[in-house]
Structure 1
Amino acid sequence: MSTRSDPLTRRAALVLGGALILASSCLAAGLPASAQTAAQPVRIGVIGAGNIGSTIGGLWAKAGHEVMLSSRHPEELKSIVEGLGPKAKAGNPAEAIAFGDVVFIAVPYKAYPQLAQDYAGALKGKVVIDAGNATQARDGDVFGEVQASGIAAVSAKYLSGAKVVRGFNAANYKIFAKNAHREGGSMAIPIAGDDPKALAIAAQLVRDAGFDPVEVGPLAKADTFAMGSPGFGLDLKADELRTHLGVTR
């Protein structure tokens, strides 16, 4: 039985196909990855408009994607979205989820239980890129869950039903802002997820943001680059990151 979100997933996959064709053409022509942009825009709903949400959302907007940043008070986001250009707009979380072919989660980890309570149905079947990290000082009981079970399992619990890919969580937003589309070799971004199509879509969005994706493996492997792990906070090229994390493919 198809779900209501299936057409969005198919549309995102079609966009991915066009983007990969364009990327192949760029590589054949000898163009750098930073010159590659999606053939068609993806609609991306960003849950959270703080440092990481506005940084990565802004990179996607500048790459030609349609981006909706969200908060409970979207009227307060006017200056942020104006600074990101005409492809960016503001809404509340429900609007951003409905808007997005892909949803980017960029809120404090302590908000995940409430996020699940309020939006589990709306997120079901969606491609969700999860950038959250758990810290003891900020996230309370949820941090304890992560310490006990690992962040991959806890994200899977609270984002149950979504096609979750962990990504853009392995460094500070300032590192992303500094290194997007840099010359001399792209910064590698590790990603992990269980759905191959969702992983492929996330990988293309990593490229569009100006980085080089490294597919680490299934979602459980996200613990290898979680905050506090040896894979966190690294500024490496793709081959270097694969070696560091023991990724062989």
Structure 2
Amino acid sequence: MSTRSDFFNRRAVIVLAGGLIAASGLLASPCPASAQAAPQPVRIGIVGAGNIGGTIGGLWAKAGHEVMLSSRHPEELKDLVEALGPKARAGSPAEAIAFGDVVLIAVPYKAYPQLAQDHGASLKSKVVIDAGNATPARDGEVYGEVQADGIAAVSAKYLNGAKVVRAFNAANYKVFAKNAHRQGGRMAIPIAGDDPAALAIASQLVKDAGFDPVEVGPLAKADSFAMGSPGFGLDLNAEESRARLGVTR
């Protein structure tokens, strides 16, 4: 796998996407399983260690990926990372961003302007999975921006230069924890983004967490499953989700 510095160009992102897909057996191979290379884990930096970050980070760690959860006080995450097992560690937000080949943003939406100011340069060209939601009671002026422009446009503004994929924002963390790897039809996770390679990476990580990704379309389509939209809060399988969201492919 390429070094982390190599991920600052599109070609390396495409290589990572291909590696993830191949590792999960989505590409046909004439070689027997015993002759194929073992899957390589992906490093995932998680900005935020609350309900979403801890839940999804734990699912990725269980799947074999290396995760770094972050906080301004990483020493306070000791019990959490110990509970998630040897694939998890703690760090500062800057350390998590530097660590991750992929970065999950899981902080309150009101923190996005400060996130952009402090870490925008480090996030440029990274694959960024954006799980944030804006709420009126908590997020103040930034919520007003979302109401005026849509969450896809506001995320693109504050995560400018990153390869943004909206995912893991369309339900409560308790729903994710309950339904990961469920039997009888996995829960669908709608995702949207403008970069095909980043979408491929996010899709595979959704699968690794125990769900079925439903690619809704470009980033602007993320408004169709944002909080407050008809596509939010649905516990559906992939076929049902595509029908509800009007996805034809």
Residue 16 of structure 1 corresponds to 17
1:84 alignment partner AA? L
Q: Which residue of 2 aligns with 1:47?
A: 47
Aligned to 1:119: 119
Structure 2 CA distance for aligned equivalents of residues 122 and 191 of structure 1: 23
Partners of 1:17 and 1:44 lie apart in 2 by 17
Cα deviation, residue 7, structure 1: 3.1
Query: 2:158 — aligned with what?
Result: 158
Listed one character per residue, the Cα deviations across residues 5-32 of structure 1 (whole Å, up to 9, x for unaligned) are: 543665554343233224336999xxxx
Unmatched runs of 5 consecutive residues or more in structure 2: 30-37
Contact 1:15-1:40 at 8 Å conserved across structures: no
Tell me if 1:188 matches 2:176. Answer: no
Per the alignment, residue 237 of structure 2 pairs with: 237
The one-letter amino acid of 1:55's match is T
Question: Equivalent residue of 2:25, what SS?
Answer: helix
Counterpart in the other structure of 1:75:
75
**SS state of the match for residue 213, structure 2?**
strand
Q: Once the two structures are superposed, what CA deviation does each residue of 1:67-101 show, in whole Å capped at 9, x if it has no partner?
A: 00000000000000000000000000000000000
* Equivalent residues of 2:13, 2:197 under 8 A apart: no
Give, as a single letter, the amino acid of the residue that structure 2 aligns with 1:20.
I
Per-residue CA deviations over 1:179-198 (Å, capped at 9, x if unaligned) read 00011010000000000000
Supply the AA of the counterpart residue of 1:23: S
Q: Which residue is 1:65 aligned to?
A: 65
Hey, what's the Cα distance between the residues in 2 that align with 1:26 and 1:188? Answer: 22
Question: The residue matched to 1:168 in structure 2 has which SS?
Answer: coil
Distance in 2 (alpha carbons) for counterparts of 1:137 and 1:27: 49
Give the SS at the match of 1:215. Answer: strand
Please say if residues 5 and 126 of structure 1, whose CA atoms lie closer than 8 Å, have aligned partners that are also in contact. no
Amino acid at match of 2:130: D
Distance 1:71 1:11 in 2: 28
Alpha-carbon distance in 2 for matches of 1:119, 1:17: 27
How far apart are the structure 2 equivalents of 1:220 and 1:108?
Answer: 21
In the TM superposition, residue 48 of structure 1 has moved relative to its aligned partner by: 0.2
Segments of 5+ residues of structure 1 without an aligned counterpart are 29-37
Once the two structures are overlaid, the 10-residue window that deviates more, 159-168 or 6-15, is 6-15
Instruction: State the match for 1:145 in structure 2.
Output: 145
**SS of equivalent to 2:76:** helix
Residues 58 and 84, structure 2, Cα contact 8 Å, conserved in 1: yes
For the 8 Å contact 2:60–2:205, the answer to whether it is kept is yes
- What is residue 219 of structure 1 aligned with on the other side? 219
Which letter maps to 1:91? G
C-alpha distance in 1, partners of 2:221/2:166? 9
Residues 21 and 27 in structure 2, CA contact (< 8 A), matched pair in contact too: no
TM-score (norm 2): 0.91
CA distance, structure 1, for counterparts of residue 109 and residue 12 of structure 2: 29
**Whole-angstrom distance in 2 between the partners of 1:169 and 1:25:** 26
| 1:188-242 Cα deviation digits (max 9, x unpaired) | 0000000000000000000000000000000000000000000000000101100
